Amino acid sequence: MDATKTVYVGSIPFDQTEEQVMEIAKSIGPVVDMKLLFDPLTGKSKGYAFVKYTDHETAASAVRNLNNFALGNRMLKCSFSSDNSISSEFGVENGVAGSSGSYEASDSNSLPALPPGMQLFANQTPPQAVSGALSTLDQASAYQLIAEAKQMAKTNPQLTRTLLEQCPQLAHALVETCLLLNMVTPDIIQMCLNKKMTDIDQLSVDHVELLKQVNSLTEAETNSLPEDKRKVVIQIRDEIKKGSYGTIY
């Protein structure tokens, strides 16, 4: 794949066909080849494509004109395939999807160039912008977002860690998406955020009393709790056993 003539087009609505995507690509100029990626298991579109143009100038025009182009309720993301190493990352070579069609991390732990972010309005905070963008996301897209993030974390955890550390807005978006899909509860998120537990002598009297009550729950009482609360209780008790809070009497 000639990276100087090939562009990555992402955030494509899942109901768009190859023919429709091709028409959008051709609106910029002559297209040599176009591949819309599909999930091999479900047969559904993965929401991104690779378009090869006849020359670099036409490809550059596509990057300028298709990036943030409104299509349905989504904004297309377009960049040179070489700019974000997207071809190797998604197992695409010579314009054809790899055998799995899924994310495959490269050997490098260096971050690729990322697509441009969103324009903030006056008095709008980044979290508000993230929430606004996620509000336009359909459920299928949300599940795919989390699935691809999990796959990347399994395949290249170090690169994932670097990405989330350098792009906290992405971490915020993933957490908020999990909340929207009821995959996690706010309590569990708080526990994940507070990895370093406060020493027992720094806790308030009420907090210490609450820890004592949690620690004294019987197995029957714990099992009678709703599932989300039961998980939180079990995690807190595990931390108590490890001595994270000091000695709880």
Nearest alpha carbon to residue 188 among 139, 247, 230, 145? 230
Reported as type and span, the H/E element at residue 223 is helix 219-223
Q: List strand residue ranges (DSSP E) for the chain, in order.
A: 6-10, 31-38, 45-53, 70-71, 74-75, 77-80, 92-93, 96-97
Helix axes 205-216, 227-242, angle to 10 degrees: 100
- Going residue by residue through the chain (249 aa), what tens digit of pLDDT does each one get? 455 788 989 889 988 999 999 999 999 999 999 999 887 777 888 888 899 999 999 999 999 999 888 888 888 988 887 544 343 333 333 333 333 333 333 444 556 555 556 666 667 777 787 877 777 777 888 888 888 888 888 888 888 888 888 788 888 888 888 888 888 777 777 666 655 555 555 566 777 777 788 888 888 888 888 888 888 888 888 877 776 666 655
**Considering the entire predicted model, what is its pTM?**
0.39
